[in-house]
Amino acid sequence: GKNILHKYKNTITNSYFCAVMKNLLSKINNPTDLRKLPENQLPQLAKELRDFIIDIVSKKEGHLGASLGVVELTIALHYVFNTPEDLLVWDVGHQAYGHKILTERRDIFHTNRELNGISGFPKRSESVYDTFGVGHSSTSISAALGMALASQLKGEFDKQHIAVIGDASIASGMAFEGLNHAGVTNANLLVILNDNAIGIDPSIGALKNYLTAVKEGKNPKQNNIIKSLNFDYSGPIDGHDLPKLISELERLKSVTGPKFLHVITTKGKGLQLAEEDQVKYHAPGKFDAETGKIHPKDESHLPPKFQDVFGHTLVELAKQNEKIIGITPAMPSGSSMKYMMEAFPKRAIDVGIAEQHAVTLAAGMATQGMVVFCNIYSTFLQRAYDQVIHDVALQNLPVIFCLDRAGFVGEDGATHHGVFDIAYLNCIPNMIIA
């Protein structure tokens, strides 16, 4: 982090951030500075931080909606907990812009996602405040639990370990594995569910329906999935209410064993258009910081996108063959599977963030004569490697894998590059790579 700061300290320009960096934010270089503020000034800091993110991302692009949604939560976490001694893990990292700004990277935040700039995701080599490198979802609970158990072994019983995970990410199998293990330990672990009912596309599945019922007060208190896993459950609470967040986090510091806080937030909070169209404003490109209106791109001279050609072609094929099925793990828009979902809603399936399940589901359908097109980003198919080998290839089942975002993907960086697919798929029997 210090090397990056030194490299860019003479390149900082008013056009990127000084116009919106007002009295409070300009004084916050790290969480120690943040903790010196009286609590009644934190709402003003939240406004300044939100304006700062909007201003920079409007010019430099990036993941907007998720970071806007957790501004208050980010401030509360660094205000209550003694970071970096207390360990904070952000799941995926789309929502970590406020975290980066408050942890010694405010003045270089305009280099976010640029060559030789800071990473778009938390990255251990970049800052001591980035306790775990992320980019793929659903790793935070396992990582934070590992840290908590290690702290016990070292005799560091007062150290706090916090995992912040979204409602889309917690539906993944790995997150359940982490919860299942944590529930039979006495680890000093706090899992915070940032529930905004959306990932990149709207969240789906039975767990999402359960969380919606909890938010609406329709779920009986005795029927609590998290409590059944031996977590001390609290919530749901308003994730934009700073006094309530701080009070609850302070209380949870003294609770022993695994704890779970359910927080309700609004993705895109503070920018009206981002709140109204949360899919588009997940990563909107350049936009007007005042109005939120996205600057149009002239793409008339460009060839059609690969994923759109795939999506429209799949619809045409599906019209001719009723056995064709489409499957995607939480990427209907990014993979353009949305076109088949619109045309044949019963034959196109979004399984949520569940790549392993997507592959084996495709294999199961293939045993029954279905022609399955399983569309997964190249970097995410890595998460289902055993299923590709064991459940598809060794059984010689005719599943068609359509890998999107192969090769280098630019600003998202190493966690999202699709550079391993040919190498790791070429060695698998019964696999034809076209």
Residue numbers annotated as active site: 267, 355, 383
Omega before residue 236 within 30° of 0, cis: yes
Peptide bond preceding 31 in cis form (omega within 30 of 0): no
Q: Shortest CA distance to 164 belongs to which of 300, 255, 67?
A: 67
Side-chain half-sphere exposure of 140, counting CA atoms within 13 A:
30
Structure token digits, residue 235 = 């919530």
Phi, psi at 252, each rounded to 5°: -70, -20
- Residue 3 has φ and ψ, to the nearest 5°, of -65, -40
Q: Give the CA distances from residue 221 to residues 210, 214, 373, in Å, rounded to whole numbers and listed in that order.
A: 12, 9, 41
The encoded tokens of residue 369 equal 């004569």
Q: How far apart are CA 421 and CA 179, in angstroms?
A: 30
Q: Name residue, tokens 């116009």.
A: 19
Beta bridge partners of 197: none
DSSP label of 305: P
Q: Strand order of the sheet with strand 87-90?
A: 87-90, 161-166, 189-195, 259-264, 232-238
Count of residues making up the chain: 434
Please, are residues 259 and 179 in contact by the beta-carbon 8 Å criterion? no
